[in-house]
Structure 1
Amino acid sequence: MNVVRKMLFVLLATAVTLSGFAEGQKDQKAATSSKTTAGTKTPITFTFFTVDATEDMPFTDPVAKKITELTGVTLKVDRPVAGDQQAIPLMIASGQYPDLIYAKGDLTLLIEAGAVIPLDDLIAKRGKYIKELYGDQIVRLRNSVKDPHIYTVGTYGVKNGIWDTDGCMQIQHAVLKELGYPKIETLDDYANALRAYMKKYPTINGQKTIGLSLLIDTWQWYIDLSNPGNYVIGFPDDGQWIVDQKTLDAQYKFLHPEMYRYYKWLNQLYHEGLLDPESFTQKEDVWKAKIASGRVLGIAYPRWGYGDARTSLIQQGMPERTYAYLPIVADKKYKSPMLKDYGFSGGWGIAISKSCKDPERAFEFLDWYCSEEAQILVNWGLKDVNYVIQNGKRVVPEKEQKWADTDPDYSKKTGVGRWVYPFPQRGTAYIDSTGNYITRTSPETIIKNYLPVEKETLAAYGKKMWIDFFPKPEELGISRHGQVWQYALPPETNAKVAEADEYIKNALVRIIMGKPEDFDKSWAKIVSDLKAMGIEEANKVVSRLIKEKVEMWSKKP
């Protein structure tokens, strides 16, 4: 009965939210009496739902205003409430859709419901910049062999430079310096460093020192609990899958015989007091506050997930409490996969719904987004405000760069970088018609923008960049299939994987907190339970999809 009541509450709340889409569309239809033509700047507002937004995103910052000035388009951004995973299914149940939708893996549900329109004809006739951006990679936007239509554009760069990394695991510069910059390559090395520093400094700034702290509250568990498990045994990020590059067969990662190693290590850390006991219950704001206090020695999370806490450390005059990025593996027989070249995977992107008030105008907007003009704007900001031209090169003034480095709200205030994801991206390695990189990221700017403490740590190890610690992309090879986490799986397979994911998340927490002497027995039960749930059937489906995708990509666009 409680479950039923809860579902009714969720449905009612979502219905109210979705009705907002309908009202927004009515308002716009009243304001826009006739269809617009290509190239027009007549004002129009598109409703845009993105499953990844975690906060309200008003389209009012300087970059957003410039986008509206150039295109006439204003976006009314909507998002799930409190990480709700049912937003897309409930949207489909209601039959009411925003104009533009970024659904990630739930794209399949929208396609099967006929909720989004194919873009093939529009691309062929009017997709000047889309064709320019994607080139021969446009085939990777196709949905599947059985349904080869293109429904989305955007989300990830087509031509990316592998010049930067957040590493597999991170540790404070202060720890490395105190310990004489030891070689830290394995999980045991990492634990030894935490152990030695915590023994010497049980408190930092008057608060208890924390060794390793995890964030696994909602979807973050995929990042902070699931992914490191395959990284430390040499497998790259394919979501919940490990893929054999020779056979292209996929396996739900927790069935792999080596996956236990990271979790057995966490079990050891937990019982020794090196792992934050609140790792399994803390919310994101609490976790970030701990990092910003300077007392968390180690994390295993990408920089994009805690950037504001890092900026806070710098603001407070504690740059030594920011992190070095390390290629940690379970033991030296493995190669860290962090610099793996995945190529362009296609997959996720922004779709135009069947309810869109003006699909041609929406397409025109997405096509413009692929242009150099748009890409420079969203990545660099406004000329002579956020960047200047010096000797033909775009340069971020020192004052502006300092603002970007020290203000957690820089992107919100300026719009720089705020409207890059999940829209089309040329990629960090793309050089535009003026000879400049299309984004602010380049090997030169990366090195230039390192903190003094980062340069000190790198110099101590005889390195110039963080990537110098890691096996090079050439050693790791280019992925033949992209990344599986970007695949749109059939709904029944998605449901099976979701069931397995929910089980494994809870099982991992229990096994990490469980008695060390029971670990092996408990891990065997996890594997047995997953097989009993039928996850091996999902292995077959994903393996087939990978092989079909590789075959489809091999054909000329």
Structure 2
Amino acid sequence: MFRRKWPLWSLMLVFIAGLTLAGCSSDSDKKKADGSGGSKDDPITLTFFNADLTTDVSFDDPVAKKITEKTGIILDIEHPVGGDEQAIPLMIASGEYPDMIYAKGDIGKLIEAGGVIKLDDLIEEKGENLKKMYGDQIDRLRNSIDDPSIYTVGTYGVENAYWSTSGTMSLQLDVLRELGYPDIKTLDDYEKALKDYIAKHPEVDGQKTIGLSLLGSDWRWLITVGNPAGFSLGIPDDGQWAINDDTGEATYKFMVPEIKEYFKWLNHMNDIGLLDPESFTQTHDTYISKLSSGRVLGIADQDWNFQDADKALKADGKDWRTYAPLPVTLDESYKSQGLKDYGFAGGWGISISSTSEYQEEAFEFLDWMASEEAQILLNWGIEGVNYDVVDGKRVLKDEDKEQRKTDAKYPEKTGVGQYVYPFPQWGNGAVDSTGNPISPDTQEDIIATYTDAEKEVISEYGMKSWVDWFPSTEELGISKHGSASNYTIPNNSDLQTIQQKADDFVEQKITQAILGKPADFDKAWDDIQAELIKMDIEKANAEMTKITQDTMELWGTK
């Protein structure tokens, strides 16, 4: 179920009171002169469900207050309780919806149930900021070939630049320094670095040194185990799929023959003691605590999943215990896709519920969030508080620069960066009407945030930035199909049913194969492949291929 700040009876009282007041006020009293939903003195509260949140957001930080001042809107933000995946189905069953919903992959269920409205007419009539933001990419917001309506906006940047990587194999900076800055391009290179360092330093601060630690005990199995397997083969991030970008042909990733070699390598790493034995049982809190201690040498994870540990290490003065992203692949015949440009992803986004009494106000709020004024506020904060304008350029204050690096609660305390995702966003490659970057995370800004330890390592390798290690975005090209991980899979379709069954199966069985005896691995893998065939995985391949090809046709990239 989802979290609600007020009990239902109190919402009903607010509703009744609102009806009473409605008889005494005109629409003009409810709207501000600039067209946004409420007024500074009489703001409107919109309920907003965010499926990606796991903690409360109170919407009372300085940026949130400024948003309310500008729009007359207060957000009452709800989220799933304890990672519950039934929040959207329960909404549908009850017919009770928040005003705005970020449902992620469950948006298809809401569309089918009539729980959200089409936004096409609103965008045409009053979506000036959204039309300017999306431009010729607006077709990527459309639902499908059969229903080319727009139900969502937001989530991903429209103009992105790739000045950092995420999700690749990473190593502690101290490992690179201690070993004399070796070239690490393959899994064998990576393994040797771990082995050599542990031989020199079996303990870190009195605790046993850990080679590679993963987080495979929950849904993050796909992030720290499944995804790195595909990345090692140069497969871009299409979720559980390997897709031919020219033809749109899709294959369930865990059936690609070569992917076996990555999991066989993990099985070997476990056998020789270089894989953390708790990799498939530890909780996220335990994992972050372990990384924060500085004794874990290697990870394969998305930055957003371990950023709290990174900031904790820096706050403790353990800069050399933070991680360097590496373009590691199975062998040098494969090319890392760490800087792949997927284009504007479309697909997932924020929708407006069919039962909301504030549909126009909610849309006007989302359109304002796409404005230049909003984008600067969301990304930079408040002028004079979080940044200054010096010689026509926005410059973060020194305190904010430091807190962004070391304080995991910086967004929560200040609101800076807190409301960029999953709302409409221009992307970190965009510039405003003054020529200033919309995001403070430009290449120069990112380089400026590097610690002395990072700068030393980067310099030793003759680079200016971590991304210099990786094949360039230009070399890799722009994806014609976007990223399949953002596709909306039809509810109750064979594809949805088969993939869910296959995902659950491979997580369990591949984990068992990794933890088993090396002599048993080949048979275990053959059994996995045979069982996937029995699950009719080829039918799922065919259906995902059709969705991919339809998407390319809808986008005009086929």
* TM-score normalised per structure 1: 0.95
d(CA) in 2 for partners of 1:154 and 1:97? 19
Which residue is equivalent to 1:41? Answer: 38
Q: Which runs of 5+ in 2 are unaligned?
A: none
Contact 2:48 / 2:100 at 8 angstroms: preserved in 1? yes
Which residue is equivalent to 2:404? Answer: 404
Once the 2 structures are TM-superposed, how far is the Cα of residue 66 of structure 1 from its aligned partner?
Answer: 0.8
Which residue is equivalent to 2:532? Answer: 530
Letter in 2 for 1:430: A
Which residue is equivalent to 1:497? Answer: 499
Once the 2 structures are TM-superposed, how far is the Cα of residue 223 of structure 1 from its aligned partner?
Answer: 0.9
Which residue is equivalent to 2:14? Answer: 27
Which residue is equivalent to 1:255? Answer: 255
Contact 2:393 / 2:436 at 8 angstroms: preserved in 1? yes
Q: C-alpha offsets along residues 352-372 of structure 1, whole Å, 9 cap, x if unaligned?
A: 011112100000000000001
Once the 2 structures are TM-superposed, how far is the Cα of residue 40 of structure 1 from its aligned partner?
Answer: 4.7
**Identity percentage over the alignment?**
51
Letter in 2 for 1:27: V
d(CA) in 2 for partners of 1:88 and 1:425? 24
Contact 1:21 / 1:97 at 8 angstroms: preserved in 2? no
Which residue is equivalent to 1:11? Answer: none
**Aligned CA distance change for structure 1 residues 366 and 252 (closer, same or farther; 3 Å):** same
Which residue is equivalent to 1:152? Answer: 152
Which residue is equivalent to 2:173? Answer: 173
d(CA) in 2 for partners of 1:539 and 1:29? 51
Which residue is equivalent to 1:342? Answer: 342
Q: C-alpha offsets along residues 435-465 of structure 1, whole Å, 9 cap, x if unaligned?
A: 1000111111111111111110011111111
Contact 2:36 / 2:72 at 8 angstroms: preserved in 1? no
**Aligned CA distance change for structure 1 residues 277 and 29 (closer, same or farther; 3 Å):** farther
SS state at 2:456 partner: helix
Contact 1:141 / 1:152 at 8 angstroms: preserved in 2? yes
Q: C-alpha offsets along residues 348-393 of structure 1, whole Å, 9 cap, x if unaligned?
A: 0000011112100000000000001111111101111111000000
Once the 2 structures are TM-superposed, how far is the Cα of residue 409 of structure 1 from its aligned partner?
Answer: 1.1
d(CA) in 2 for partners of 1:460 and 1:381? 35
Q: C-alpha offsets along residues 99-158 of structure 1, whole Å, 9 cap, x if unaligned?
A: 111011110000000000000000000101000100010011000010010000000000
d(CA) in 2 for partners of 1:91 and 1:158? 30
Which residue is equivalent to 2:305? Answer: 305
**Aligned CA distance change for structure 1 residues 169 and 16 (closer, same or farther; 3 Å):** closer
d(CA) in 2 for partners of 1:366 and 1:74? 13
Q: C-alpha offsets along residues 57-111 of structure 1, whole Å, 9 cap, x if unaligned?
A: 1111111111111111111111111111111112111111111110111100000
Once the 2 structures are TM-superposed, how far is the Cα of residue 50 of structure 1 from its aligned partner?
Answer: 1.0
Letter in 2 for 1:538: A
Query: Which residue of 506, 509, 532 corresponds with 1:507?
Result: 509
Contact 1:22 / 1:97 at 8 angstroms: preserved in 2? no
SS state at 1:501 partner: helix
SS state at 1:153 partner: coil
Which residue is equivalent to 1:540? Answer: 542
Q: CA RMSD in A?
A: 1.7
Contact 2:246 / 2:480 at 8 angstroms: preserved in 1? no
d(CA) in 2 for partners of 1:240 and 1:468? 28
d(CA) in 1 for partners of 2:426 and 2:8? 30
**Aligned CA distance change for structure 1 residues 167 and 51 (closer, same or farther; 3 Å):** closer
Once the 2 structures are TM-superposed, how far is the Cα of residue 218 of structure 1 from its aligned partner?
Answer: 2.3
Once the 2 structures are TM-superposed, how far is the Cα of residue 246 of structure 1 from its aligned partner?
Answer: 2.2
Which residue is equivalent to 1:231? Answer: 231
Which residue is equivalent to 1:143? Answer: 143
- Stretch of structure 1 that moved more, 211-220 or 539-548: 211-220
Q: Residues 87-486 of structure 1: matches in 2 within 5 Å?
A: 87-166=87-166, 168-486=168-486
Contact 2:233 / 2:329 at 8 angstroms: preserved in 1? yes
- Stretch of structure 1 that moved more, 33-42 or 204-213: 33-42
Once the 2 structures are TM-superposed, how far is the Cα of residue 286 of structure 1 from its aligned partner?
Answer: 0.5
**Aligned CA distance change for structure 1 residues 201 and 428 (closer, same or farther; 3 Å):** same
Once the 2 structures are TM-superposed, how far is the Cα of residue 178 of structure 1 from its aligned partner?
Answer: 0.5
Once the 2 structures are TM-superposed, how far is the Cα of residue 406 of structure 1 from its aligned partner?
Answer: 1.6
Once the 2 structures are TM-superposed, how far is the Cα of residue 215 of structure 1 from its aligned partner?
Answer: 1.2
d(CA) in 2 for partners of 1:18 and 1:256? 46
Contact 1:83 / 1:218 at 8 angstroms: preserved in 2? no
**Aligned CA distance change for structure 1 residues 315 and 18 (closer, same or farther; 3 Å):** closer
d(CA) in 2 for partners of 1:484 and 1:94? 30
- Stretch of structure 1 that moved more, 308-317 or 129-138: 308-317
Contact 2:37 / 2:44 at 8 angstroms: preserved in 1? no
Contact 1:18 / 1:96 at 8 angstroms: preserved in 2? no
- Stretch of structure 1 that moved more, 517-526 or 147-156: 517-526
Contact 1:176 / 1:182 at 8 angstroms: preserved in 2? yes
SS state at 1:58 partner: coil
SS state at 2:439 partner: coil
Q: C-alpha offsets along residues 522-541 of structure 1, whole Å, 9 cap, x if unaligned?
A: 11111111111112211111
d(CA) in 2 for partners of 1:22 and 1:545? 43
Contact 1:59 / 1:65 at 8 angstroms: preserved in 2? yes
Q: Which runs of 5+ in 1 are unaligned?
A: 1-13
* TM-score normalised per structure 2: 0.95
Which residue is equivalent to 1:518? Answer: 520
d(CA) in 1 for partners of 2:367 and 2:55? 26
Contact 2:36 / 2:368 at 8 angstroms: preserved in 1? no
Contact 2:38 / 2:73 at 8 angstroms: preserved in 1? yes
Letter in 2 for 1:117: I
Which residue is equivalent to 2:556? Answer: 554
Once the 2 structures are TM-superposed, how far is the Cα of residue 542 of structure 1 from its aligned partner?
Answer: 1.1
Q: C-alpha offsets along residues 498-550 of structure 1, whole Å, 9 cap, x if unaligned?
A: 11111111112101001101111111111111111112211111111111111
d(CA) in 1 for partners of 2:515 and 2:272? 11
Letter in 2 for 1:503: F
Letter in 2 for 1:80: P
d(CA) in 1 for partners of 2:532 and 2:37? 55
SS state at 1:279 partner: coil
Once the 2 structures are TM-superposed, how far is the Cα of residue 552 of structure 1 from its aligned partner?
Answer: 1.1
Contact 1:18 / 1:91 at 8 angstroms: preserved in 2? no
